[in-house]
Structure 1
Amino acid sequence: MVSAGDLAYLEEKLKRPITPLEYACFENLWSEHCSYRSTKAFLKTLPTTGENVLLGPGDDAAIVKYSDDIALAIGMESHNHPSYVDPFDGAATGVGGIVRDIISMGAKPIALMDLLYFGQITEEKNRYLLEHVVQGIGDYGNCIGVPVVRGEVTFDRGYSGNPLVNVVCVGIVDPDKYLTARVKKPGNRLVLYGAATGRDGLGGASFASRDLSEDAEAEDRPCVQVGDPYTEKLLIDATLEMTATGKIVACRDLGAAGLAGASSEMSSSYGARIEADCVHLRENGMNEVEIMLAESQERMLMEVAKDDIPALAVIMEKYSLQWRDIGEVIEEARYIVTFEGNMVCDLPIDLLVEGAPGEAWHAEPYSHERPYQAPGGDLKDLCLSVLSHPDVARKDWISRQYDHDVQLRTVSVAGGAGLLRLGDSALALSCGCSPRHIELKPYEGAANTVYENAANLACVGSNPLCVVNCLNFASPVHPEIYWQLGEAVRGMGDMAIAIGAPVVGGNVSLYNESDEFGTRILPTPSIGMAGKGPVIRYTLPADGATLAIAGTSAPALGGSVLDIVTGCGGEAPEMADPSILEKIRLFVQNGGFAADISAGGLIAALAECAPAATVSLAGDAISALFDESSGRFLIAYADKSLAEGLDAVEIGAVGGDGLIISVSGMTIRFTLQETEAALDALTSVMYAE
């Protein structure tokens, strides 16, 4: 709802009461989801420009130069609250929405990544949510023919009652021919095309900006959109064909706040007059608020010169897409809507689109780190417990439901980054987050989240080009959450500068709390990163290869998977030094193998990359095996000269019939079957369902 303070402010500015449609427009466009009221000041501190950034934050997606004839369109969105209320449709329409953001730029979508966060997998409700979210993503992505090439899944009680579904989409477009979402000329027409408008998704933007109640599944179901991937595929093909004519002047996806959001934001450089009666409808008897605010899926709005409408109509009708001329761009900076012969909205467009007052909440630092207590128990059992934890275990049950190879660009989806062939080079994509580390040290943890994605790219020989993010946090009204948010953005920005990867776009999702479970999500600034490098197919090291650890860091077990399993506590990792990344890139480009040591520590890296090897480690066994501090890599090579300059410490060799580790005067042995069974724990749980 519009707050009493906002309502008084608006009526004072307008010198009159606001109409029901105006109220609904402000409720949605001034929501946190659309206006970033609590984060504007923080977001302005992020580095957003660079030599390859053709179009930064503020449009439906960013445009980043990849080569002389290819630019990337890249964006990231969340669909969190809808995915709790209706996990299949919530997740599916999250994919549909971010894909439309890409096609509105005139770009062909070529890849998706998903970052998912759920409550503990031991709870039936969380397994249900996971199952149906994955099904929704897979169904929609597979139907529209866009491969899912990377993903991450995190499980923690904090996400019970408030799962997070974040999706990245990447497209390609000619660097000189991309579209934008800002109108260019008064007198041009605004044409709505795609699916008909129904009542689904009403109030979606405001719904995304409030806590979930105990009755959310029943009460908020009408706020969740229902997607149709087959219509989306038609939209993709039709929009690309219309873009090729050069007759689309500007284009925007209908997402949050529906037609009201798209048409006002699109027209904010001038003004717009919309005839709500002209919108093609799926249901009879809809009023102006329903027509303008519904978030029905698979709809686009474009600016077109009046004389060009017939030529574009031929293309839309060829793809069986409905369309209507619903209004025009006007010179006066006002947003006007008429319905049934009445003026139902007449607002200064800048007040509606840019006028939301910022919110500066009270910030209060905290410290949640706990003293370290050495975990008891058998070392081998600890290793198997870490390997079988769902954060570390393989996500095969999920990835098998996604088509990775459609469009025939995919080189590899194994390891920490997905690779797609673009021209004679590879587009590298990584995504991820370390919520528990960020909860303990927001600045350092968020910085390391950016670093870890750059490390994943380095392990396939690629340089980062850009970053997109999704800032998922609990309510900023809580002083510790607002401090957490500011520190996380600061850390993210500092590391983005350090690695030379501008933050070109993103999304903010606050108020992620659940009354039903009494939970707040962990701070989760999800990262998506795109990079460029050679075409290198991910291959595990061969028998006889030397294993070594490159890079150094101060051991830290706080927030680690071992900490989750045993409650051992300890300090969280310090901010990583990114200087090693260039050396790792060159090492991999010259034929070496590298894997970033992160979730689960060295034992997880060994189990995944060298399950048959003999290894000898120095120092304390717990730190040696489970430390997750950023800045270290497990590397492998057949020729020692490849590792020159890395100051790597050799720890063993690949080969044998299992994993043998000597550390702290003891030797532990894992058969291949034991390692595989632990890493397959999540898949076993989900298939057992």
Structure 2
Amino acid sequence: MTLDTIKHAEQTPDVQQPWAELGLKQDEYERIRTILGRRPTGAELAMYSVMWSEHCSYKSSKVHLRQFGEKAPENDALLVGIGENAGVVDVGQGYAVTFKVESHNHPSYIEPYQGAATGVGGIVRDILAMGARPVAVMDPLRFGAADHPDTKRVLPGVVAGIGGYGNCLGLPNIGGEVVFDPCYQGNPLVNALCVGVMKHEDIHLAKASGAGNKVILYGARTGGDGIGGVSVLASETFDDTKPTKRPAVQVGDPFQEKLLIECTLEIFREKLVAGIQDLGGAGLSCATSELASAGSGGMRVELDTVPLRDASLSPEEILMSESQERMCAIVEPDKVARFLEICEKWDVIATVIGEVTDGERLEIFWHGEQIVDVPPRTVAHEGPVYERPYARPEWQDALQADDANKLPRPATPAELREQVLKVVSAPNQASKSWITDQYDRFVQGNTVLAQPEDSGMVRVDEETGLGVAVATDGNGRYAKLDPYAGAQLALAEAYRNVAASGAKPLAISDCLNFGSPEDPAVMWQFAEATRGLADGCLTLGTPVTGGNVSLYNQTGDVAIHPTPVVAVLGVIDDVARRTPIGFADEGHLLYLLGDTDEEFGGSAWSQTVHDHLGGLPPKVDLERERLLAEILISASRDGMVDAAHDLSDGGLIQAVVESCLRGGKGARIVVPDGIDPFVFLLSESAGRAVVAVPRSEELRFKDMCGARGLPAVRIGVVDGDAVDVQGQFGIPLAELREAHEATIPGLLA
């Protein structure tokens, strides 16, 4: 390195630099030169390349994501919104809850165990950085065809990584999804969600203010893993001709993270930090530039003081490393000694690596020589913004015209029985217990509901029973047919799932998984889905608190189905009043809430029986969803229902089978006059739920539904040891259980 790196950069404008290899476009590189008035140093180029990546800068999605702010509903519960590590909502009694869902898709295909494990670790640190104790995790997952050989490689590794990391942290895994579809064959989706709890006064933000305050890096040593993870691995399309980029996958240590969590929470209790940021995507480049950008001054960092696992790392590699289990705190000088003392107590390495300045620059030095001199906002918050061209794909009309309602239907009760068994035992509808049994769902002792319930629920306050419920949902088949409606259906299902458990939906986080933004058809899908989600949240009164965009999810030129995953968080005053899905008491009356139409586009039946995708997805009526939620919440609170299950994939029969198996009781079902039994059982019309009502509450429940204008039809009774659809067929619970539970173990054996 020369004696003066900055001056050398000024004096050698024509030196060739590897900007393309770092994922930058030529116009982006030229813009960096314009900002700096010279060519960047190697360290500056490294920082801009990771921070201007798609994963960190949202450069292709920003113009559409603005709708979440522009259309945000009025909501007094929202305490911290988009722009911080995670959103925060008020849940009452002085408590605040923070939650967020993010993606770790590409790393999990290359190294399934570490990719998934570090996805959990990263989202947990996001929640920790807000000042909260993490209390639960969830994992919405998408894999390729269930019978494909590579699924047997990817799925067990991902599940083991999620379980291994989360179980070691002592965090219950309370929900999520597992979906199989050939479109995810070379590009699985591994989304991870974490929920944290704190008091209002404990909220922390990512900013570096106060000249003279110290910058402390603490946690694990910095190594060579994860270098270029966000700029190269997560911001590029997979291609069989390219290297596997294994070094770009981070390596996790959950025991180190557990120490980091407890250490950080003790530091928070003693009010020792003025600002804090976790180190995830883009590592130190992100933490230093974002803290300085959000603060009121500049920052000076001595990079050679960073504790290393590998002494041979260059400054550029240190800045780009995404080594896990690291945090960066801003600490007033008179609190540094106590901060370091607590870190030593928890066996957490902590080093003062710099300080906040009264200037406006982020300055980084290496053995006394300045190697970075940049305006931090240009790195962290003023990256490129693209208005990518987008257009409705030419094939969309033909896809929607290929109506699923025209597919051959079962002609006899025997055929209907056969197809029902085929649907409930298909990989997407079958029991996921082989997967979820690998997760600890009840550690910490506050889990109230967990898989396979409609939503996960944890107790927040032991004395009052205050709790929160979270559900994640997304249907890429619906979104492929109509991205606008598909995003709203994902929102509606998660909203409905939370309400079915008795909790009031408050806010959402989202993980928007799409193909390459350089494809106008993909960008049209993204624009439509984002618009649908923003409009839906405005109607339902649930603001978007934050989330993640994951693009370039495709192999070669084949994109995944557009897959917006929506997480809805709700609050319940007393978890003792929650509503489970299981039919556990004989004699309870079964009521179907909502309207059933012939809606099979994107349905489980069309996929399982006919391997077909076409037509239109179910219609969305968000006002009906809001009314249904109000009924479900009121009925739960007032003891009018003992079980409730939303209707979605697989329709009514899927919900009834799941509720019967969960509660261990059978059901006699009567098909109402005037409706085709096939449509009644397998249609996927939205805005519906099935509830079990004690006979003593029937009149009160019917009166409430009637007074509020919600269709409610009595369709049967909890009884016996079979699901008996009268006049059609009966299936013993033992046969259903075998069909429902044997599929996944059979595929993965």
* Same fold, judged at TM 0.5 (above): yes
Residue type of the alignment partner of 2:290: E
Note the C-alpha offset of 1:338: 1.1
Measured in 2, the distance between the counterparts of 1:257 and 1:644 equals 57
Greater mean alpha carbon deviation, residues 375-384 or residues 29-38: 375-384
> Structure 2: where are the runs of 5+ without partners?
1-22, 706-710
- Cα distance 1:382–1:570, how it changes in 2: closer, same or farther (>3 A)? farther
1:522 corresponds in structure 2 to 561
Q: Secondary structure at the match of 1:645?
A: helix
Residue type of the alignment partner of 1:526: V
Measured in 1, the distance between the counterparts of 2:170 and 2:600 equals 42
Deviations 1:326-359 (A, max 9, x none): 1111222212111133221111112111221211
Matched, 1:144 2:169: yes
Contact residue 117 and residue 153 of structure 1 kept, 8 A: yes
Residue type of the alignment partner of 1:633: A
1:659 corresponds in structure 2 to 723
Selected match of 2:301 from 274, 295, 313: 274
Contact residue 388 and residue 520 of structure 2 kept, 8 A: yes
Note the C-alpha offset of 1:316: 0.2
Matched, 1:580 2:580: no
Matched, 1:617 2:644: no
Contact residue 587 and residue 643 of structure 1 kept, 8 A: no
Note the C-alpha offset of 1:570: 3.7
Note the C-alpha offset of 1:404: 1.0
Deviations 1:97-122 (A, max 9, x none): 01111111221000111100000110
Measured in 2, the distance between the counterparts of 1:50 and 1:335 equals 37
Note the C-alpha offset of 1:149: 0.6
Instruction: Kindly report which structure 2 residues correspond to 1:156-555, keeping only aligned pairs within 5 A, or say none.
Output: 156-206=181-231, 207-214=233-240, 219-268=244-293, 269=295, 270-365=297-392, 366-367=396-397, 368-369=399-400, 370-371=402-403, 372-376=405-409, 378-413=415-450, 414-423=452-461, 424=464, 425-515=466-556, 519-533=558-572, 534-535=574-575, 536=578, 538=580, 539-555=582-598
Note the C-alpha offset of 1:49: 6.0
Instruction: Kindly report which structure 2 residues correspond to 1:6-21, keeping only aligned pairs within 5 A, or say none.
Output: 6-21=28-43
Note the C-alpha offset of 1:215: 5.5
Instruction: Kindly report which structure 2 residues correspond to 1:3-82, keeping only aligned pairs within 5 A, or say none.
Output: 3-46=25-68, 47=72, 50-82=75-107
1:600 corresponds in structure 2 to 650
2:687 corresponds in structure 1 to 631
Note the C-alpha offset of 1:12: 2.5
Contact residue 67 and residue 534 of structure 2 kept, 8 A: yes
1:571 corresponds in structure 2 to 616
Residue type of the alignment partner of 2:637: Q
Contact residue 56 and residue 230 of structure 2 kept, 8 A: yes
Measured in 1, the distance between the counterparts of 2:591 and 2:168 equals 43
Contact residue 88 and residue 97 of structure 2 kept, 8 A: yes
Greater mean alpha carbon deviation, residues 444-453 or residues 91-100: 444-453
Measured in 1, the distance between the counterparts of 2:244 and 2:192 equals 25
Q: Secondary structure at the match of 1:427?
A: strand
Residue type of the alignment partner of 2:86: A
Q: Secondary structure at the match of 1:219?
A: coil
Residue type of the alignment partner of 1:583: I
Please provide the CA RMSD for this pair.
1.6
Instruction: Kindly report which structure 2 residues correspond to 1:92-171, keeping only aligned pairs within 5 A, or say none.
Output: 92-171=117-196
Deviations 1:252-274 (A, max 9, x none): 10011110111111110322111
Greater mean alpha carbon deviation, residues 487-496 or residues 236-245: 487-496
Measured in 1, the distance between the counterparts of 2:746 and 2:530 equals 36
Residue type of the alignment partner of 2:207: R
Q: Secondary structure at the match of 1:333?
A: coil
Note the C-alpha offset of 1:644: 2.4
Deviations 1:526-548 (A, max 9, x none): 11121111312524242111112
Measured in 1, the distance between the counterparts of 2:527 and 2:409 equals 37
Figure out how many residues of one structure are paired with residues of the other and give that number: 682
Deviations 1:293-347 (A, max 9, x none): 1000000000001221111111000111111111111222212111133221111
Measured in 1, the distance between the counterparts of 2:364 and 2:518 equals 35
Greater mean alpha carbon deviation, residues 413-422 or residues 76-85: 413-422
Q: Secondary structure at the match of 2:598?
A: coil
Note the C-alpha offset of 1:131: 0.6
Note the C-alpha offset of 1:68: 3.0
1:644 corresponds in structure 2 to 703
> After the TM superposition, which parts of structure 1 deviate over 4 Å for at least 4 consecutive aligned residues?
none
Note the C-alpha offset of 1:676: 0.8
Note the C-alpha offset of 1:50: 2.3
TM-score scaled to structure 1, two decimals?
Answer: 0.96
Measured in 1, the distance between the counterparts of 2:536 and 2:51 equals 31
> Structure 1: where are the runs of 5+ without partners?
none
Deviations 1:598-650 (A, max 9, x none): 01111101111136122121412332121112111112212312232323111
Contact residue 162 and residue 514 of structure 1 kept, 8 A: yes
- Cα distance 1:48–1:321, how it changes in 2: closer, same or farther (>3 A)? farther
Contact residue 48 and residue 56 of structure 1 kept, 8 A: no
Measured in 2, the distance between the counterparts of 1:561 and 1:527 equals 20
Contact residue 49 and residue 504 of structure 1 kept, 8 A: no
Note the C-alpha offset of 1:571: 2.5
Deviations 1:352-387 (A, max 9, x none): 112212111122123322223232552111111111
Note the C-alpha offset of 1:679: 1.2
Measured in 2, the distance between the counterparts of 1:616 and 1:246 equals 62
Deviations 1:414-468 (A, max 9, x none): 4201121222222111111111111111111111111111111111111012100
Measured in 2, the distance between the counterparts of 1:353 and 1:48 equals 28
Deviations 1:15-40 (A, max 9, x none): 21111111111111011110111111
TM-score scaled to structure 2, two decimals?
Answer: 0.89
Greater mean alpha carbon deviation, residues 337-346 or residues 165-174: 337-346
**% identical equivalent positions:** 37
- Cα distance 1:63–1:19, how it changes in 2: closer, same or farther (>3 A)? same
